[in-house]
Structure 1
């Protein structure tokens, strides 16, 4: 047992009392410093309440409020609340305030009666001058933000006014004037009349266009410009020009400047660019349960010559799939039309088949005016494959044609978006091929918001016309199952089987999925899903299987990463974990 002198115990006791007193004073002081006035509203909710809280600011008032300041503060609070309600169309509110003092500070109680809401009785929104026949203005005039019978909102009125002014600037009516802009409110009748009149003045046209660059031949670089001198001015064309130059891969920095001339009513345009680095290198790692960990290495020469030619080489290695590819690209119309020569090698080993492919190809790609991408191709493939212990070799010369389009409102996490593609290819024994077949493959994906989250649906279909399935190489047959097919089943583990029960693939394919995901943190979402479908030879033998489960998604710095737990409908496994990466569209 330890003992201490009496003087030491008394000293510790005094020190402890001082410490407790200091802590108490500190807490009291910090509490007083943290106290601020508050506003309590009654008789109002929803948007009017929110707008009052946004306009009435009393947090900066001192807790020790003098009587003369108290009266002025209440008048300001009522005036600001009245302004907040008028902005939403409530021009006859009743506002009463009372200050309630508390131990630490005070509270302002405000009783609100909004009264009737002003409605719009008439909208006179007119445009005179050349813009009167402009389709863009006609669309705005046909769909105003406020119409007769709508509740009055000041922000919608300002939106209508700003829309006219902004559209005039975007469409080249630089001398336009807002002749009239009035919001007339008849408070006794609770009606409002809107008068907006824009005199557009003449429309300017594009003048001289200069493109400063030293990467491509001038005649090729000029094809990036989507307009010619004399075309009506449209700011969207400047945006298209900048986006085309930025996305071309040739330029690292792009700046667009304009100079309107009032005398000639022309707008000169100057585009200044800096060259992107000629050589590019790529190294990446990834993982999915379909192919396991993956390593990718690549090199790109972005400027072989001033005609815009470029080439790239890429290698990948994973436990399931490895290979290498080479592409040489020749632009015809920058960003719209090109010809690509390619060569590649791929070795793939799945639970159902082994395949070793050598490929040569040429493709012509064209972006149509409708924004669809049309690709016409010719490929030669030599494939050594093994399916169900049967090994064979095929040579295929395959002409093909594909149409594809993708639309989305965000590159990483779209709320609205879709993808649609369809490709047909064929081979003929009389044309340097081992087998004859015709095949179509179609894919569709649709994303739309629902209940604060998103619905992500997809469908995948394939049809093959061929005499004998056994003659088709494994790369032409259809299999189902895996991260992007039917979850709950292993990669390419579904399809018709032989007499020994080995999966041999099918002529046709039909799979689909419906998924709902919902953000619960800024970069994290939870998902539930059901997948279904199968590969098959005839409709009579089609037997759909299903996988259903839950998942977690993370919007990582390198792109979306998905972790799913799925249960197969035939209960061949208790559950299966799927990990995948990549964009939603």
Structure 2
């Protein structure tokens, strides 16, 4: 430390304690539970304080100045006020030092006559700010001794992410924050017993520089040992380790423990979950402690909602988490609404060691798009795997559709989607966003592959393929969201493929500006039927709405949607919709309110939906 400098706390030498009050003056503290004077009892103070300094310095002094404590001592005489002014200079110097100004020009004076109310003026010229000079980060323990590439990478990440590089302004808060961040990065992976072995900020006040040194001791490398579970009585004991997916022998990673905790809490089997280790245990096989609180065996959920596609709706859902005899979870739901009411039951097993589940689904629905009424039934049996980013489904599915509506006598069953089929399907979905359900960057991909045959007297083979993509790219102001979907069903023209395997589009989450399933094949008498080829695209600019210069929970959007359905790929002709809307980051997911204009139908429509869908 160069002579003449006065460092803040946590640097080379400890700052002096706050100046004591003058003799016979006791600072007055607000009694516990008090919130200060009431409106009926205005605050009485001995003097006023005016701070004249740059904004950052003024805000600091107005908040932390010791003089503020003595304003409530109303019987101060002139001599005592003068003594307070003298003692305040050291307090001001220490406070300004925490902002990196170690050679300030401080003048504290009293204004006002003898019989006038005193005003203490604190004038500060902070001078030149101290900047960071040389920075030395040293490591001890396994992170320094290991030749493992992961240890080398972790050490490099700590050095790269150091928050006070050379040339940056020095402040006490910044110094504390930088050390905390470095230690957090050390203990987040491999080294939960890591510690800050030492630190020094050597301030050279005349040259306005601060040399920094931080010593980090990682301690030993930790690997996960056996899982010790408490709180499981109602469900299968293998459920927790299979949902947690923490392998014995893997390197400790705090993010992996947090992800396991989230999987347990969101599985439906547990109301709460807590996953942790005790660093005092054997680092070669540290036990993983899992504490859970089980959910009730059965639950019923009642719901109401509304969308512009289907209007108001009401639903009731019953879940049994362990069906007697087989131990599967059964979820049965009945939803009532004008355009697409349905009843569905889905039964799933607990995951195996590779996180695959067996499942059975049955669904009956009625789809009324104001031109055609489709009565559809579906039965599915297969396996699914839900991962952190990737979902997979393999299943056999039976579909049956019965289509009715005015003017259908002139159209064949193959054109309207009246028929039944049996298919084998594979579905793969990958989500690579920074966060959900409010992503700001990233992308997602989805692929559906199906092959099967129509049923009935004239059986015809067919294939069905669908690809989906969503990309979100950040901009300097907001982000761009781009969406694309394409699908194709390949079969003979005479094949009676059920409508649930064909395509129609239009509505809230497809092509805005058009009604629910309004885009399809034009049949006789103006009826819109399903088609064998689908193409949908969208570009949307999402921009935060600022209030008083700060981003709010609302966003404004501008978008262009396009979609087409045809029986032959070369006949695809897009229908465009353009519009604007508002997004709200609601507690249950994104709330979207859009006003769109369909260029083909020359009509404007309001679209409202909730949730992030992919």
Residue 163 of structure 2 is aligned to residue 139 of structure 1: no
Cα distance, 1:347 vs structure 2 = 0.7
The 5 Å alignment of 1:35-46 reads 37=48, 39-42=50-53, 44-45=54-55
Which of residues 474, 490, 514 in structure 1 aligns to 2:540?
514
Q: Is the 8 A contact 1:291 1:319 kept in 2?
A: yes
Cα distance between partner residues in 1 of 2:513 and 2:192? 61
Moved more, 519-528 or 107-116: 519-528
Residues 474 and 232 of structure 1: CA distance in aligned 2, closer, same or farther (over 3 Å): closer
Q: Is the 8 A contact 1:51 1:84 kept in 2?
A: yes
SS at match of 2:602: coil
Moved more, 352-361 or 264-273: 264-273
Cα distance between partner residues in 1 of 2:467 and 2:443? 17
Cα distance, 1:151 vs structure 2 = 2.7
Partner residue of 1:378? 396
Q: Is the 8 A contact 1:248 1:334 kept in 2?
A: no
Q: Deviations over 1:365-390 (max 9, x none)?
A: 2245x731122232110111247623
Q: Is the 8 A contact 2:483 2:537 kept in 1?
A: yes
Moved more, 119-128 or 383-392: 383-392
Which of residues 339, 347, 352 in structure 1 aligns to 2:366?
347
Cα distance between partner residues in 2 of 1:209 and 1:526? 44
Moved more, 536-545 or 101-110: 101-110
User: Gaps spanning 5+ residues in structure 2: where?
Assistant: 1-37
SS at match of 2:154: helix
Which of residues 117, 142, 159 in structure 1 aligns to 2:129?
117
Moved more, 137-146 or 180-189: 137-146
Moved more, 392-401 or 317-326: 392-401
Residue 124 of structure 2 is aligned to residue 90 of structure 1: no
Q: Is the 8 A contact 2:376 2:402 kept in 1?
A: yes
Partner residue of 2:292? 273
SS at match of 1:475: helix
Cα distance between partner residues in 2 of 1:582 and 1:492? 20
Partner residue of 1:9? none
Partner residue of 2:139? 127
Partner residue of 2:561? 532
Residue 475 of structure 2 is aligned to residue 444 of structure 1: no
SS at match of 2:357: strand
Cα distance, 1:153 vs structure 2 = 3.4
Cα distance, 1:512 vs structure 2 = 0.8
SS at match of 1:331: coil
Partner residue of 2:320? 301
Cα distance, 1:301 vs structure 2 = 0.8
SS at match of 1:243: helix
Q: Is the 8 A contact 1:248 1:335 kept in 2?
A: no
TM-score by length of structure 1 reads: 0.80
Partner residue of 2:426? 401
Cα distance, 1:487 vs structure 2 = 2.5
Partner residue of 1:549? 580
Cα distance, 1:164 vs structure 2 = 4.1
Cα distance between partner residues in 1 of 2:435 and 2:576? 33
Partner residue of 1:22? none
Q: Deviations over 1:424-450 (max 9, x none)?
A: 333345999556243213141537576
Q: Deviations over 1:118-172 (max 9, x none)?
A: 2222111011221224243332123311222333233333233223444454446
Residues 78 and 217 of structure 1: CA distance in aligned 2, closer, same or farther (over 3 Å): same
SS at match of 1:188: coil
Cα distance between partner residues in 1 of 2:244 and 2:595? 50
Partner residue of 1:421? 446
Cα distance between partner residues in 1 of 2:248 and 2:453? 51
Cα distance, 1:300 vs structure 2 = 0.9
Residue 575 of structure 2 is aligned to residue 564 of structure 1: no
Cα distance, 1:315 vs structure 2 = 0.9
Moved more, 181-190 or 284-293: 181-190
The 5 Å alignment of 1:121-270 reads 121-132=133-144, 133=146, 134=151, 135-171=153-189, 173=191, 176=194, 178-212=196-230, 213-219=232-238, 221-227=240-246, 230-256=249-275, 258-261=277-280, 267-270=286-289
SS at match of 1:148: coil
Residues 139 and 33 of structure 1: CA distance in aligned 2, closer, same or farther (over 3 Å): same
Residues 262 and 445 of structure 1: CA distance in aligned 2, closer, same or farther (over 3 Å): closer
SS at match of 1:281: strand
Residue 370 of structure 2 is aligned to residue 359 of structure 1: no
TM-align CA RMSD: 3.9
Q: Deviations over 1:22-75 (max 9, x none)?
A: xxxxx9986676999454434x24x55544444447655537564345445545
Q: Is the 8 A contact 2:243 2:355 kept in 1?
A: no
Cα distance, 1:496 vs structure 2 = 4.5
Cα distance, 1:282 vs structure 2 = 1.5
Cα distance between partner residues in 2 of 1:446 and 1:456? 6
TM-score by length of structure 2 reads: 0.77
Which of residues 497, 521, 536 in structure 1 aligns to 2:522?
497
Cα distance between partner residues in 2 of 1:549 and 1:536? 24
Partner residue of 1:23? none
Cα distance between partner residues in 2 of 1:576 and 1:159? 51
Q: Is the 8 A contact 2:45 2:71 kept in 1?
A: no
Residues 577 and 179 of structure 1: CA distance in aligned 2, closer, same or farther (over 3 Å): closer
Partner residue of 2:610? 581
Residues 409 and 72 of structure 1: CA distance in aligned 2, closer, same or farther (over 3 Å): farther
Q: Is the 8 A contact 1:361 1:379 kept in 2?
A: yes
